[in-house]
């Protein structure tokens, strides 16, 4: 009996054939745009090849209505480069040249660049000093968005950038109203198809708080990058321009999608939940103590090495779209010889929540503070035990009987970030079990 007939063998492909279709090059097209992908040089040969007067498209590339060939990643055109196709030899040389050029993202030009919106809010990055050597004692928040953007003409080479002045403050004056305004604007912009990412220029003093607030309430996976500077715009070696340039690249990058709100300064990328200002005045002030930053900016590209594991942005349950205020939550700082005055004052002033920045593992002074917090809890104020130490987990039922007192612990959040999560938690519930779940989730 003859065996089953084997299926016909596929016709062998020519070496330069890949998956994709050939598109004839129109005689009228003297300018072609070919897509190149700067972050995966090996992919480039798969994306384009010229065969006489044809261009090969793969599933990584599309032919746009304008007759351009664009590389896509999701919906977004990643990089494009234009050149003239005169003849086969010229085309081949052009392709090789395009591959070389594409290795440097800063050289990318044209309509395929990402659309990045820069929202300005003030800070030292927009500050001016009386002389070029004034790096302390300057005035923050004096330079407007247009001047900030015009100071970095290189931005045009990496993104289609638009700017907007949302407000103009030194960030020690940040408050809940500004946060709500900023969050709503960010969400509106990110819902638009023509915005790929957002950069927020911000004073460094409260960058860690604004970034964590946005991390919890932004409803998008698109990149949001917060940037500042430690030296005013008028200073020798001002760090604002390079920080802004890197932030725009990061906000327009595929790598930053889905990573939550990022804080990027000094060539380093940090997660909003973990970053903290660590030095009063040096340019390397932003740190993620012990856990480390997420990655670097180098050679006009982001390089990520880890991610925050906590829920954020598009996966967050918090929504401020219909809120005009946030509940009052205050921080009580722990110290030796402590008394209960601050706790009682905040309760009398109407606090709905108190974060206690305790010594060590969130310890509470007895007999002064623990009974004061206990009484506050009995009046309905939610108490979160945090630590002034700056690192580590506050152990539940460790230094205080949290179950008995009905307290919540902050996990690893520092007091200023714990305050933000407690405010948002209180917009949804006053159930302390539920709030504790949120502290272990975000």
Residues near ligand SIN (CB under 6 A) are: 122-124, 140, 170-172, 203-205, 228, 230
Least distance in angstroms from the C-beta of 167 to ligand SIN: 12
**DSSP assigned state of 42:** G
Closer residue to ligand SIN (CB): 204 or 410: 204
Is residue 124 part of the annotated active site? The answer reads: yes
Closer residue to ligand SIN (CB): 45 or 279: 279
Q: Strands of 131-261 (E only): list them.
A: 160-169, 197-201, 224-227
C-alpha dist (Å) from residue 315 to 16, 213, 226, 301: 43, 14, 20, 26
Residues forming beta bridges with residue 344, ordered by sequence position: none
- Residue 426 CA to residue 298 CA, distance in Å, equals 41
Least distance in angstroms from the C-beta of 246 to ligand SIN: 17
The residue nearest ligand SIN at its CB is 203
Cα R_g (the chain), whole angstroms: 27
Contact between 15 and 51 under an 8 Å Cβ cutoff? The reply is no
Least distance in angstroms from the C-beta of 419 to ligand SIN: 17
Least distance in angstroms from the C-beta of 171 to ligand SIN: 3
In this structure, what token pair is assigned to residue 145?
């968005």
Q: What is the dihedral of CA 184, 185, 188, 193, to 10 degrees?
A: -150
Closer residue to ligand SIN (CB): 112 or 122: 122
Residues with Cβ within 8 Å of 45's Cβ and at least 6 positions away in sequence, in order, are: 99
* CA angle (5, 7, 13) in 5-degree steps: 150
Least distance in angstroms from the C-beta of 65 to ligand SIN: 45
Closer residue to ligand SIN (CB): 275 or 408: 275
Residues forming beta bridges with residue 265, ordered by sequence position: 268
Closer residue to ligand SIN (CB): 38 or 122: 122
Active-site position among 124, 201, 206, 210: 124
Tell me the pairing of strands 329-333 and 61-63.
unpaired
The three-class DSSP label of residue 139 is strand
Residues with active-site annotation: 124
């Amino acid at each position: 009996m003859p065996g089953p007939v084997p299926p016909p063998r596929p016709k062998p492909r020519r070496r330069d054939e890949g998956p994709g279709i050939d598109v004839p090059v129109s005689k009228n097209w003297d300018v072609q745009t070919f897509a190149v992908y700067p972050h995966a040089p090996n992919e480039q040969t798969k994306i384009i090849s010229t065969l006489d007067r044809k261009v090969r498209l793969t599933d990584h590339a599309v032919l746009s209505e304008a007759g351009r060939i664009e590389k896509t990643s999701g919906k977004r055109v990643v990089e494009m480069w234009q050149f003239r196709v005169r003849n086969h030899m010229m085309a081949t040389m052009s392709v090789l040249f395009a591959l070389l050029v594409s290795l440097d993202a800063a050289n990318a030009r044209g309509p395929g660049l990402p659309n990045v919106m820069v929202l300005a809010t003030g800070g030292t990055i927009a500050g001016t000093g009386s002389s070029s050597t004034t790096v302390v004692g300057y005035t923050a928040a004096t330079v407007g968005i247009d001047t900030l953007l015009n100071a970095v003409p290189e931005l045009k080479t990496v993104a289609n950038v638009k700017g907007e002045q949302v407000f103009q403050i030194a960030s020690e004056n940040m408050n809940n109203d500004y946060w709500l305004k900023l969050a709503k604007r960010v969400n509106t912009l990110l819902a638009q198809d023509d915005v790929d990412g957002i950069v927020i220029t911000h004073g460094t003093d409260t960058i860690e708080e604004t970034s964590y607030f946005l991390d919890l309430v932004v409803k998008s996976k698109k990149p949001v990058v917060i940037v500042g500077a430690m030296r005013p715009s008028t200073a020798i070696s001002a760090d604002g321009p390079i920080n802004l340039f890197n932030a725009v690249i990061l906000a327009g990058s595929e790598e930053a999608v889905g990573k939550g709100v990022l804080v990027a300064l000094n060539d380093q990328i940090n997660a909003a939940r973990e970053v903290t200002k660590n030095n009063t005045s040096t340019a390397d002030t932003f740190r993620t103590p012990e856990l480390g930053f997420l990655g670097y900016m180098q050679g006009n590209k982001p390089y990520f090495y880890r991610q925050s594991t906590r829920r954020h942005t598009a996966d967050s349950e918090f929504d401020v779209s219909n809120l005009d205020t946030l509940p009052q939550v205050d921080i009580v700082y722990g110290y030796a010889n402590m008394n209960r005055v601050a706790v009682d004052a905040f309760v009398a002033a109407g606090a709905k929540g108190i974060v206690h920045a305790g010594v060590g593992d969130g310890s509470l002074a007895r007999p002064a503070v623990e009974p004061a917090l206990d009484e506050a809890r009995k009046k309905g104020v939610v108490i979160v035990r945090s630590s002034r130490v700056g690192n580590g987990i506050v152990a539940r039922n460790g230094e205080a009987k949290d179950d008995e007192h009905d307290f919540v612990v902050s996990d690893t959040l520092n007091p200023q970030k714990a305050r933000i999560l407690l405010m948002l938690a209180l917009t949804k519930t006053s159930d302390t079990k539920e709030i504790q779940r949120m502290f272990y989730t975000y």
